[in-house]
Structure 1
């Protein structure tokens, strides 16, 4: 840069203080003064070529160059082999080693050694629950099953989770192995508010699936969440309640099979049997089934009368015409009755059961209806407790 400063001396004259051209030694690299107000041209840049040795024998030079190239190529191949041997056998092309995963760094302790099941012979489910208030999510971690019955060891184990009473879509998890102690290691998330989660119940249904797709109910766990979310992440063990060992209710239980075909718009049901009924007379037992849409009774059917006993077997099939758009508005009402010889008098009522969507039912009754919708044209069988007529 050119730096000029105006300074008036005693005689009123100006004096140059700094030289505008920097001094450059003769032996140093060339300096291009780009700030002088002009651009340097290529012709003004001094340069010099390094000395070049021209050998007298050209053939000797060619042999030396060839030997040097061969030596460099051998060194590159050796270096490539060293890299591949150090980083693994996986490579892209021939000169881009990617590496390999060292399994020793990712070894995990078997889950059976981390969470050992408590003593006992009952089939148990190992899981944990955690509620995240920031995102309003209930996180359920399925870990493993223990003491599975021997007849289920060779089948695939499937678990269906629901958040009762309002959750309509089940979450599923499949075991990663077979045997008496199949492992899951799956994490399932339910989106639920902090107010509703305390009033909810986690339903875990364990199913055994054969190779041909046939399912068998192993058992069920009903886990109320109220008071259980304080210690997040702790491992929980719960015994499965087998379907065949479920205790009868006060009025008895009834077994129903439901299936629905959307293409045929047909709802099919089979009243299989009942148990633990409180019979009043020996006149026999029958089942009356009514299809209801909103508050309107659409159709009513009645089964044949079975001789009076506490555990009658019906195996009575019924079908109803039901459009898919009414699946959320319709319900089935079951009434177990004692018929009277005098038809002018109403029959004696033994118990009532209502199966339907969330508008009419809760708990297992709601779950049975949703299973029927989700498993198209596949019969879903379940035991239900009878209630008193309101």
Structure 2
């Protein structure tokens, strides 16, 4: 149909709408599309296939990965701390070396021989803390009372910046008795308030020296000494009680006789009335033979009410100063008896021809003190659990004078317990 106004017989082409395609130009990045994407896709597929093969929920797999990462991180931190500690020890050791280049020889003070008490064995002086002590002598009883009051600003011996201090007290040159305070955990300012009595005549008193040594307690290694005080009793005014603060000095290294150490565990079961002693090992024992070794064995003895009761002994280890035993002994001790029992551990050198010689000795129980008493108390407070600890051996004379055992229990009283 022709539109109005158009001439007749005029043909119009059909109305059509044509759209030209719009070309969008994009910039291709061949490295991204052709290189990274295939690798990323392949890696993603590989990881998904690997996770699908693990027979665990996906959250459990992720938790394991996180735990492993944390474990690796903790190990790295421990290694860093250990390296820093080793570096600090090495630096301290380096600082303690005497700087010989500083001695130019122009002054005569460097050539003066110092007193024995002033010798520091080539180490730099360190602040070791202070100790408050007291001394009181009774002429009527011929007895010296040494009071260990408290300590202040002790040297930190542990990694956490603290120490576990206790004090050992004895009198030289006889040294027939050694006393120890209880151990205080994680402190540099312990308050002891303990007193120890030493029988000593007035004539011997004026020639003696009281030694007070502060140690850092370690259950499974050697106890580190923090410092010591030595008071010559001949210079003390005994008209009144002495009580004073004094700075701790570096310990002397020429007097203490090293008899060695012994490690053993204790386990007590109250319901069954069983006391189990496991002798584990010894180290650095005193050599008793000409060859420089010993043939050590350990004797385990129980004393009830200060009387010898029961005993056992380990096998003999030949030609060694570091014997390993791991031998167990079980004793029947009722709960009522455990409060009256003392355990005596003694190390002996076996001789095939002559008499066996004692190397060292210690005793534990409610009559003990210091580390021995603490080990015994830890055993009683942790029933059915073995408690192991290292102990320094003392001379048999010291232990015998402190424990003062009586004669053996009569047979009638030892019958059934």
TM-score norm. by structure 1 comes to: 0.46
Between structure 1 and structure 2, the one with the greater Rg is 1
The structure with more helix, counted as a fraction of residues: 2
TM-score norm. by structure 2 comes to: 0.44
